[in-house]
Structure 1
Amino acid sequence: MTTYTPNPELDLVLERTVDVAPQLVWKAWTTPELLKQWFAPKPWTTTACEIDLQPGGRFDTTMRSPEGDEYPSSGCILVVEEGSRLVFTSGLGPGFRPVIVEGGFPFTAVISMEPDGSGTKYTATAIHADASAKKSHEDMGFIDGWGMALDQLVEVAKSL
């Protein structure tokens, strides 16, 4: 397992210990029907999700705003470490094919989960190419939005 050390100039990090087991966090992240229940911070929703859980596989979602506007996002899975780490990027499409990111910025997400007592130490890192992309993501509400989504993930995981 390789580790990633965040660069504070370029990356955003959400780290929290949650009171659900790592295998339930993993299941919520890797099962499309479960991911659709928590991935977008309310009142937004996730209307579609396709995951091909292997390096080079698809990680696609569509979010819907409260006004009904849809925002599809296509990405590529880079790393799958069963039950502990998922890495995907919006800078590549399935099969590691480079893509043009229209109206946004590419980023890579590193989702890590490790046992912490009866819960999980959860770390979500968003890696950006430059400081302006980091600032754009931060200004979009990364910490609040990803934090709300994590709360929703915990709620879903507790129901499993």
Structure 2
Amino acid sequence: MSKTNDAKNRTVTLKRTFNAPIELVWEAWTQPNHIVEWWGPKGMNAKVIEHNFKVGGKWKYTMQMPDGNEFISEGMYFEIVEFEKIISSADFKPMTEGVEIQAFFEKNGDQTNFTFNIVHDTEEYCKQQEKMGILNGWGSVFDRLIEHLEVLVK
């Protein structure tokens, strides 16, 4: 099996087209004052603890879960190409750890095509995460981002 096929089997991909220009989508993804408005599933409020948006910089966000526990999201930026891609490590404690997240942005007129990959260490771990509902969780997050962008575009 080639490495390309191996990575494909370890990756969960979500795609969206946002009705907002790429500059605004980029800003919503990279600025803490926007991140707190959409990061996390519906019903959870995010706090930005750390946001050092540069290669080698760390990020850390927390969310209060309905049961009172804290959900921690954190990672380190590996690659940033303005208006194109952001690649970082990511731990979503206590559910998912040791993944890489890849956000790709593509200008499409006044819209932005967005591809989001979650790359797991193993195919087995990827399948386990899919069974736990990773697509629904991230789908809810991106629904919130769509709602946030709609407010900003008006």
TM-score, normalised with respect to structure 2: 0.85
Residue 156 to residue 49, structure 1, CA distance change in 2 (3 Å): farther
Measured against aligned partners, the alpha-carbon deviations of 1:102-155 in whole angstroms (never above 9, x if no partner) come to: 774310000011112321110000011101221232223221221121121122
Q: Corresponding residue for 2:84?
A: 84
Native 8 Å contact 1:48 1:63 kept in 2:
no
Q: Corresponding residue for 1:95?
A: none
Residue 18 to residue 57, structure 1, CA distance change in 2 (3 Å): same
Q: Corresponding residue for 1:36?
A: 36
Q: Which of 112, 119, 122 lines up with 2:114 in the alignment?
A: 122
Partner of 2:61, secondary structure, is strand
Residue 6 to residue 50, structure 1, CA distance change in 2 (3 Å): farther
> What one-letter code is carried by the residue in structure 2 that aligns with 1:64?
Q
Q: Which has the higher strand share?
A: 2
CA distance in 1, matches of 2:38, 2:6: 25
Identity of aligned residues (%): 27
CA distance in 2, matches of 1:52, 1:75: 10
- Cα RMSD (Å): 2.2
CA distance in 2, matches of 1:131, 1:119: 33
Native 8 Å contact 1:36 1:49 kept in 2:
no
Residue 138 to residue 115, structure 1, CA distance change in 2 (3 Å): same
Native 8 Å contact 2:85 2:104 kept in 1:
yes
> What one-letter code is carried by the residue in structure 2 that aligns with 1:108?
E
| Deviation at residue 56 of structure 1 after TM alignment | 0.4
Residue 146 to residue 59, structure 1, CA distance change in 2 (3 Å): same
Q: Which has the higher helix share?
A: 2
> What one-letter code is carried by the residue in structure 1 that aligns with 2:131?
D
Q: Corresponding residue for 1:98?
A: none
Q: Corresponding residue for 1:152?
A: 144
| Deviation at residue 41 of structure 1 after TM alignment | 0.9
In the alignment, structure 2 segments of 5+ residues that lack a partner are: none
Residue 143 to residue 119, structure 1, CA distance change in 2 (3 Å): same
| Deviation at residue 44 of structure 1 after TM alignment | 2.3
CA distance in 2, matches of 1:156, 1:103: 25
